[in-house]
Amino acid sequence: MPMPRRRRRRGYPLAILVGLEGSQAALWSVFSESVKPDERLQGDDEYNFYESVVDSLRPSIKQGIKSILIAAPDEKDYQDFMNHIRRHQSWLIDGMGTNIITLEHLPKPAMEPHQVRELVRKRGFKRKLTEVYRGDIKQVMNVLERHLNNPDDIETLLFTLGEVENAVYRDDRSPDYILITEDFRLKHRRRINRLLQVAANKDVKTRIIKSDTPEATRITQLGGLVCMLKG
C-alpha cells in the first residue's frame, strides 16, 4: 500500500519575489519554509504593464507583506520599474506609517520554477531576503515606538491575545497592524492561525517576527503580541 504523500509545510509569509524581464513579470510568494508561484503578467505598454505589477502587489501590501524582491538580470528593467514607482506610485516608498514598502534588487532571473529553485539556494538570496525583511520590520517598529512613547497613543495599542481577537473578530474596533513573535505563534498556534486568517480577510496587516532578532526581543518584552489600532 503506497504511503500518503507528506504535505510540505508552507510556513508564514516573508516577502514577494517579482521576476522582471522586459515586458514580462512573474510573481512568487516567499514563505518561511517555501516559495509558491502567484501571478504572471505581460504587456506591450510600459506604463500599463508596470501598473499591473503594482496592482498585483496591492493585496499582499494590504496584508502587511511589504518586503519586495525584484529579480531582474538586466539592471535597466529594475531601474525602469523603480522610476515608474517614483513618478506614479511614490506613496509606496515615500508614504507614512506602516504602508511603506521595502525593495531590494537581485540581478538574477526568476521567471520560471527552476530559476527560482536555483535562486533561493544562493547565499545572496538569503542575505537580500533578510535585508528587505528587516528593513520592512524596522519601519513598522519605528511606528510602534512612536505610539509607545506618546501617552495619547497608548489606548491605540493592544497587548493580549484576547483583546486582539476581540478587535479583529468584532467591528467596533479597527486593527491596523498585528505583530507576533515566532515563539508566541508556536505557543498559541491554533488561535493565532485563526486570527491571522480572519485578519487577512479583513485586510488587517500582520507580521510574524523572526526569533533571534532585536525586533523579536522588543515584542517579547511587550508580551509577544502587539496590535496597533487605526487612529
At 170 the pLDDT is 87
At 6 the pLDDT is 47
8-12, 13-17, 109-113, 204-208: range with lowest mean pLDDT:
8-12
| 150-229 and 13-136 share a CATH fold | no
All three cell numbers of 41, joined, read 503578467
Residue of 12, 9, 2, 3 lying closest to 179 (CA atoms): 12
CB crowding 83-106: b at 16 or more within 10 Å, else e: ebbeeebeebeeeeebbbbbbbbb
% of residues, the chain, pLDDT over 70:
95
Q: What is the mean pLDDT of the chain?
A: 92
Which runs of consecutive H residues, i.e. helices, occur in 73-160? 75-88, 91-94, 113-120, 123-148
At 95 the pLDDT is 72
All three cell numbers of 17, joined, read 519575489
Mean pLDDT of 31-47: 94
DSSP assignment, residue 89? Answer: -
* Domain 13-136 classification at class level: alpha beta
Measured in residues, the chain has a length of 231
Mean pLDDT of 142-169: 94
Tens of pLDDT, residue by residue over 184-203, are 999 999 999 999 999 999 98
Specify which residues 102 forms β-bridges with.
Answer: 67
Q: Report whether 188 contacts 160 (CB < 8 A).
A: no
Q: Distance (Å, rounded) from C-alpha 146 to C-alpha 154?
A: 10
At 230 the pLDDT is 87
At 8 the pLDDT is 57
Yes or no: domain 150-229 corresponds to CATH 3.30.1330.30 = yes
Cα distances (Å, whole numbers) of residue 88 to 82, 168, 208: 10, 33, 30
Domain edges within the chain? 13-136, 150-229
Mean pLDDT of 42-65: 94
Is residue 133 scored above 70 in pLDDT? yes
